[in-house]
Amino acid sequence: MRYNRRDRGTGLLAALAMLMLACAMLVPTIALALTTNKATARPNENGGSGVIGGLNTRLTWEGTVEEGEEVSSVTLTLPDDGTFDGSSTKITVLEGLSRAAVEGEAVASGSQLNVTFSQPITEGLLLRLEVEGMKFPSEGGDVVVSGTYVNQGGEQQLADSKPITTIANTPLQAMVATLDEAPWVQIWNSNPFLGMFFKPQLLVTAFATLVPGWLLCLLIVVVAYPFAILLGLIFALMKISKNRLLRLIAIVYVNVLRGTPLFLQIYIMFFGLPMMNINIDNNVLGVIVIAINASAYLAEIFRAGIQSIPQGQYEAASSLGMSYFQTMFNLVLPQTIRRVIPTVTSDFITSYKDTSLLSSVGVMELMMFAKNLTSVSGNMTPYVAAAIFYLIVTLPLIKAVGYVEERIAHSERGGGPRPKGKTAKNEAADAEVKLSELAVHAEALDDEHAFVPALTPSFASEV
Amino acid sequence: MSTLSRRQFVQFGSLAAAGLLAGCGSSAGSGSGDAADAGEYTLVEEGKLTCISNLFFPPFESMNEITGEPEGFDIDVSKSLAEHMGLEVNWLPSQDFDTLVPTIKNGGKADIAIAGMTITDARQAEVDMSDPYVDSNQSIVVKAGSSETADTLNDASKKVAVQGGTTGASWADENLPNATKKRLSTVIDAMSGVQSGLYDAVVCDLPVSRYQIKKSFSDLEIIEEIPTGEQYGIAISKDNPGLTAAINAALAEMVEDGSMAAIEAEWFGAEL
């Protein structure tokens, strides 16, 4: 390597700076008998991870007593209008991992908290103070906890803690605070049932914080569904094909996926694939699992739909010289699509609800957010909020299914649009058709798939 | 198929109804044991101490691999407690950890939750906690040979699994604020996830991680033992102060007569 003068100059400078830094770091450590290990705060933002100033939270402060030292009292100080008033302090002294029998008394006065110990804390012991119910300065910002301690040599300054990032109050939090104060909320919550399932403060928080989870649920199912439809169609065609091998593959695929719980499939995919060193993003994997699972159900729906087209139509098609694919794509599938729309929509609703199972493997969907909020608050309200989010999507869809079913029934019964100026003769014929179609639909109404065994005897023996 | 005659059926029905009624009526505790004089209390089912827990937390509570019966340190403590109180012990099926405190608070289903549950102010605001019966700490567990430390884990790209509602979860929230936290139902799910590479680390109670690594997750390791000095207590409804007093009295007796030490020796040996 070749050095020029400039390189040597910067090298020297860097060495000098390092030396100074080392000195600066060494000086305070030597002087201190009680080393500040850390100061952290419990997040107190409802449904979030922020530490909000001016609201009750818990400060955890840890320090270690250095060699040959004894500490008899510690005072912690907060900047600005941070306050320890109304707090309760848990004092834990640890030797390694076991608790040492040291008691103490904590006195809070404004921004200072004084803790005196029944006996001095000796060298090597870890002091842990958990101050519940204290407040950080309300304007937010980086908060440094400072303070003093008393050892054999009198009162000394504590090293400042690493700054704790706090934020000023959020509009949502302010709204929750208003609700906390409102008398009707207190009366409402005093009823155990209403307080546990419909706590207004938590409903507000949950509606605000569950949105990302809800959107992810929708995204997963909306992305997964086109793939599911495509896969389902392929397997449906395989299942009715004349090739024995294709039929076998389709039967195994559909039966295994329909015959095992989705929960199990999720576990196998999420825990199994990474073990085979296949690492896929969790959300993508979620889409894949939902798509594969739904495809098995859709395959059955499509197969039933295709086989519900009367044999006569195939015969008519072949008499016109249409090939298999022409028959399928120009004649059978268009009619099938119309017939299966309601059932497919129902299946879509099921898949949408099934995304909730992904919460068990850490996909941040709706249930996961609700679970988080419940585990923090110990209240069931977030689940009720999640239920409402599911209903926002499912209720309109259920309504739509009902409408489409009605329309299809209406048109298949012969009530659909028709050319104008029909004769009395036509009407009489229509009435006849109506009667016979009605009988078929009465059967179909009993069960979504009731028409399947009637049309395909083979189905019954297979399942 | 049915071999019940009509008369037998009627008898069976009325028996079941009587059982139901007895279950509904809150029966005054009439424990005949030594600890019974600690006060009057009500039990969900007369003569029985009904316990709930999350049964995926070995060595404190788990289900026997073969019989499916609950077993573990806490189960033995509950049996000994019941014995000292002159009651029978009745374990309900496992439920998620974060639902235990609400269940006890609402009452009517179980008398106590004994689930390796740290005594915290937040929990004490909801339910009564008994005197501490065991000490615990936290730990960070990663895949063996991983270069992660508590510092490198504090990054948005790192997935840290925790059990929902636990002190491990709040430790992670507070000390690893930047990491992506994954709240799961059980510690077993969390550890399997780290094993398969789904998550980067687990934060959970140290006795549990030690036991699990020794028994079943030999390819995981503890990178940090976090001294928190937390203590486990038993959760009891605030409406049942007599039961809290009776449990505390029974716990004190267990320490005195050595039954607690015997249970500790059985489950932790020299480790604790």
Q: Between chains, do B196 and A271 touch, taking CB under 8 Å as contact? A: yes
Residue B251 within a domain: yes
Q: For testing the chain A interface, which of B182, B185, B194, B219 should be mutated: the one with the most A CBs within 10 Å? A: B182
Residues in a beta bridge with A234: none
Q: First and final CA of chain A: distance in angstroms?
A: 78
CB-nearest to B165 from A94, A272, A375 is A375
Amino acid identity, position A313? Q
Report the percentage of chain A scoring pLDDT > 90: 44
* B130 contact A CB<8A: no
Residue A377 scores a pLDDT above 80: no
> Å from B21 to nearest chain A CA?
23
Q: Which residue has the tokens 């914080």?
A: A209
pLDDT bucket at A458, cuts 50 / 70 / 90: very low
* A275 contact B CB<8A: yes
pLDDT digits (tens, 9 = 90+) for B15-33: 444 444 444 434 444 444 4
CA torsion B163-B167-B168-B173 (nearest 10°) is: 100
pLDDT digits (tens, 9 = 90+) for A325-364: 899 889 999 889 888 989 999 999 999 999 999 988 888 8
pLDDT digits (tens, 9 = 90+) for A61-87: 999 998 888 899 999 999 888 899 989
Which pLDDT does position B270 carry in this prediction? 56
Q: Are B159 and B180 found together in one domain?
A: yes
Chain A residue nearest residue B179, CA to CA: A49
- Chain B residues close to A38, C-beta within 8 Å: 175
Max avg pLDDT among A178-182, A219-223, A280-284, A452-456 = A219-223
pLDDT digits (tens, 9 = 90+) for B173-203: 999 989 998 888 899 999 999 998 889 999 9
Phi, psi (rounded to 5 degrees) for A36: -80, 115
Residues in a beta bridge with A76: A113, A147
Q: Are B94 and B66 found together in one domain?
A: yes
Kindly report the CATH number assigned to the domain that includes residue B207.
Answer: 3.40.190.10
A211-462: what fold? Answer: MetI-like fold (1.10.3720)
- Chain B residues close to A380, C-beta within 8 Å: 102
Nearest to A407 by CA among A341, A317, A332: A341
pLDDT digits (tens, 9 = 90+) for A84-122: 998 999 999 998 888 888 888 999 998 999 999 988 898
Q: For testing the chain A interface, which of B183, B209, B272 should be mutated: the one with the most A CBs within 10 Å? A: B183
Amino acid identity, position A222? V
Give every CB contact of residue A347 below 8 A, 6+ residues apart in sequence: A294, A297, A298, A301
Q: Between chains, do A378 and B105 touch, taking CB under 8 Å as contact? A: yes
Q: Which residue has the tokens 């691999």?
A: B65
Chain B residue nearest residue A47, CA to CA: B173
Q: Are B257 and B142 found together in one domain?
A: no
Residue B48 scores a pLDDT above 70: yes
pLDDT digits (tens, 9 = 90+) for B145-161: 999 999 999 999 999 99
Nearest to B135 by CA among A97, A184, A398, A411: A97
Residue B9 within a domain: no
pLDDT bucket at A419, cuts 50 / 70 / 90: low
- Cβ atoms within 10 A of the Cβ of A51, count? 24
**Measured between alpha carbons, how far is residue A282 from residues A83, A216, A363, B159 in Å?**
43, 12, 6, 11
Q: Between chains, do A274 and B196 touch, taking CB under 8 Å as contact? A: yes
Which pLDDT does position B36 carry in this prediction? 45
Residue B23 within a domain: no
* B159 contact A CB<8A: yes
Residue B89 scores a pLDDT above 60: yes
- Cβ atoms within 10 A of the Cβ of B163, count? 28
Range of the domain at B202: 136-230
Q: Are B92 and B203 found together in one domain?
A: no
Residue A279 scores a pLDDT above 50: yes
- Residue pair A130/A58 in contact (Cβ under 8 Å)? The answer is yes
Mean pLDDT, chain A, rounded, equals 83
- Chain A residues close to B182, C-beta within 8 Å: 362
Residue A448 scores a pLDDT above 50: no
| Residue ranges of domains in chain A | 31-166, 177-209, 211-462
Q: Provide the number of structural domains found in chain B.
A: 2
Residue B204 scores a pLDDT above 80: yes
Q: Between chains, do A361 and B135 touch, taking CB under 8 Å as contact? A: no
- Chain A residues close to B164, C-beta within 8 Å: 371-372, 375
- Chain A residues close to B229, C-beta within 8 Å: 92-94, 99, 128
pLDDT bucket at A153, cuts 50 / 70 / 90: confident
Q: Between chains, do B228 and A128 touch, taking CB under 8 Å as contact? A: yes
Q: For testing the chain B interface, which of A91, A97, A165, A266 should be mutated: the one with the most B CBs within 10 Å? A: A97
Q: What's the helix, strand, coil split of chain B in %, to 5?
A: 40, 25, 35
Q: Which residue has the tokens 């015959």?
A: A259
| Number of helices (H), then strands (E), in chain A | 18, 12
How much is the CA Rg of chain B, to the nearest whole Å?
Answer: 21
CA torsion A186-A190-A194-A197 (nearest 10°) is: 90
What is the sign of the dihedral through the CA atoms of A318, A324, A327 and A330? negative
Task: Give the span between the Cα atoms of A106 and A134, in whole angstroms.
Answer: 13
**How does DSSP assign A184-223, residue by residue?**
HHHHHHHSHHHHHH--HHHHHHHHHHSHHHHHHHHHHHHH
In chain A, residues 130-159 whose CB comes closer than 8 Å to chain B: 132-133
Residue B69 within a domain: yes
Report the percentage of chain A scoring pLDDT > 70: 83
Average pLDDT over residues A311-332: 91
Q: Between chains, do B198 and A126 touch, taking CB under 8 Å as contact? A: no
pLDDT digits (tens, 9 = 90+) for A130-139: 999 899 988 8
Max avg pLDDT among A79-83, A373-377, A416-420, B217-221 = B217-221
> Å from B192 to nearest chain A CA?
7
pLDDT digits (tens, 9 = 90+) for A163-199: 998 988 878 888 888 888 899 999 998 888 898 899 9
- Residue pair A72/A150 in contact (Cβ under 8 Å)? The answer is yes
- Residue pair A377/B170 in contact (Cβ under 8 Å)? The answer is no
Residue A388 scores a pLDDT above 90: yes
- Chain A residues close to B101, C-beta within 8 Å: 378
Q: Between chains, do A360 and B199 touch, taking CB under 8 Å as contact? A: no
pLDDT bucket at A11, cuts 50 / 70 / 90: low
Taking domain A31-166, whether its CATH number is 2.60.40.740 is answered by: yes
